[in-house]
């Protein structure tokens, strides 16, 4: 089935994730993207960043091209992964390859998307080495000890997205079974936010109580939207709203999204962690566009308010953005490829809402 899709027709199929447009944020996003590319994009990479961040950047930029009606970034996806291909093919990480799969699919390259999805999927086979069957993606404890949340949440989203494009039932069934498993896994803490995975305590899989990063909440949202779109299961909406409500209630200060490693006086976040907030905002927007289900503009308002925070607090040199969105910098702000891309994600997400 998939072979009938040319790159062109696939690009058309995936080109309309979002129809609304709030131009002032689109303009800010275009300028932020210019800065990202001119300052940090060298020899097909973003400095020493891990390839998964390049995948996230590619996703942001492909969406921006569609939103702004430009084609400036059409080649980014192909140059980003050339240097990393061997590492990705060698099972470096089962969450990283899913970011790559999603970025390729968004850019209209189904073959590459399926290739990296399939690398991730091999851990779906029956368990062999594990002492504890913690997760579809936590079968080899030495390899993915604490990242059950990302690998599984991404699998729901990447499966849903691939189903949306191909209508191959295997993808929908993977999304459904992984969501069923995740709901019952105990990975969500009592505050309604996902921790970073499971751990094996005397042969029993338990919540590892590790950090509730913002992207642990965001990565799942598009997957829930696709499940809603194709199964009509209203509980996927209830769950997504509850997750977004928990983000708003427990991950903000004065309404501004805060990564748990952030304080205003000193930067304690690494390049990965500096990337998370923009993913969460962009993927919240992705959820809204696929599901069509806001709650009286509550979530689109939240998305726009985060872009406003970015424009107020994170701005440094013109069109250059730091990690710190939630308050005035008192020494913690850093301006890196990751912080720039994260702000870009927030600006694109806001640009995808009605003003």
Ligand X SMILES: *[C@@H]1O[C@H](CO)[C@@H](O)[C@H](O)[C@H]1NC(C)=O
Contact footprint for ligand X (CB under 6 A)? 241, 295, 298
Indicate the residue among 46 and 241 with the shorter CB distance to ligand X: 241
Residue 28, SS3? Answer: helix
Indicate the residue among 36 and 246 with the shorter CB distance to ligand X: 246
**Closest separation between CB of residue 256 and ligand X, Å?**
18
Indicate the residue among 240 and 269 with the shorter CB distance to ligand X: 240
**Closest separation between CB of residue 165 and ligand X, Å?**
30
**Closest separation between CB of residue 354 and ligand X, Å?**
18
Task: Give the C-alpha separation, 315 to 340, whole Å.
Answer: 10
Indicate the residue among 237 and 341 with the shorter CB distance to ligand X: 237
**Closest separation between CB of residue 43 and ligand X, Å?**
47
Query: Closest-CB residue for ligand X?
Result: 295
- Whether residue 341 contacts residue 278, with contact meaning beta carbons closer than 8 Å, is answered with yes
- Whether residue 283 contacts residue 277, with contact meaning beta carbons closer than 8 Å, is answered with no
**Closest separation between CB of residue 231 and ligand X, Å?**
19
3-state secondary structure 41-71: EECCEECCCCHHHHHHHHHHHHHHHHHHCCC
**Closest separation between CB of residue 305 and ligand X, Å?**
14
Indicate the residue among 47 and 192 with the shorter CB distance to ligand X: 192
Total residue count of the chain as it appears in this document: 355
Task: Give the C-alpha separation, 355 to 352, whole Å.
Answer: 9
Q: Tell me whether residue 239 is exposed, middle or buried, using C-beta atoms within 10 angstroms of its C-beta: 0 to 12, 13 to 18, 19 or more.
A: buried
Tell me how far the alpha carbon of residue 343 is from its chain's centroid.
13
Indicate the residue among 145 and 192 with the shorter CB distance to ligand X: 192
């Amino acid at each position: 089935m998939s072979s009938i899709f040319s790159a062109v027709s696939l690009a058309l199929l995936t080109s309309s994730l979002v129809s609304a447009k709030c131009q002032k944020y689109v303009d800010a996003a275009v300028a932020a993207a210019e800065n990202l590319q001119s300052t940090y994009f060298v020899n097909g990479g973003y400095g020493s960043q891990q390839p998964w961040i390049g995948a996230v950047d590619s996703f942001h930029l492909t969406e921006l091209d569609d939103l702004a009606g430009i084609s400036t970034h059409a080649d980014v996806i192909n140059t980003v992964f050339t240097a990393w291909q061997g590492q990705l093919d060698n099972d470096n990480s089962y969450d990283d390859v899913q970011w790559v799969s999603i970025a390729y699919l968004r850019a209209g390259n189904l073959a590459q998307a399926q290739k990296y999805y399939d690398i991730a999927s091999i851990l779906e086979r029956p368990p062999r080495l594990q002492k504890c069957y913690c997760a579809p993606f936590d079968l080899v404890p030495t390899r993915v000890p604490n990242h059950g949340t990302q690998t599984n949440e991404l699998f729901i989203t990447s499966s849903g997205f691939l189903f949306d494009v191909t209508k191959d039932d295997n993808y929908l069934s993977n999304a459904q079974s992984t969501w069923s498993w995740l709901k019952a896994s105990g990975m969500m803490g009592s505050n309604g936010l996902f921790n970073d995975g499971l751990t094996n305590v005397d042969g029993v899989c338990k919540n590892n109580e590790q950090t509730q990063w913002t992207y642990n909440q965001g990565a799942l949202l598009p997957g829930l939207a696709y499940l809603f779109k194709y199964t009509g299961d209203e509980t996927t909406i209830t769950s997504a709203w509850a997750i977004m409500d928990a983000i708003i209630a427990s991950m903000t200060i004065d309404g501004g999204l805060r990564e748990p490693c952030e304080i205003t006086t000193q930067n304690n976040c690494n390049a990965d962690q500096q990337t998370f907030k923009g993913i969460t905002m962009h993927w919240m927007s992705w959820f809204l566009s696929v599901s069509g289900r806001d709650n009286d503009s509550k979530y689109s308002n939240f998305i726009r308010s985060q872009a406003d925070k970015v424009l107020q607090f994170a701005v440094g040199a013109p069109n250059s953005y730091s990690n710190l969105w939630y308050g005035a910098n008192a020494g913690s702000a850093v301006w890196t490829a990751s912080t720039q891309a994260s702000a870009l994600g927030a600006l694109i997400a806001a640009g995808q809402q009605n003003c």
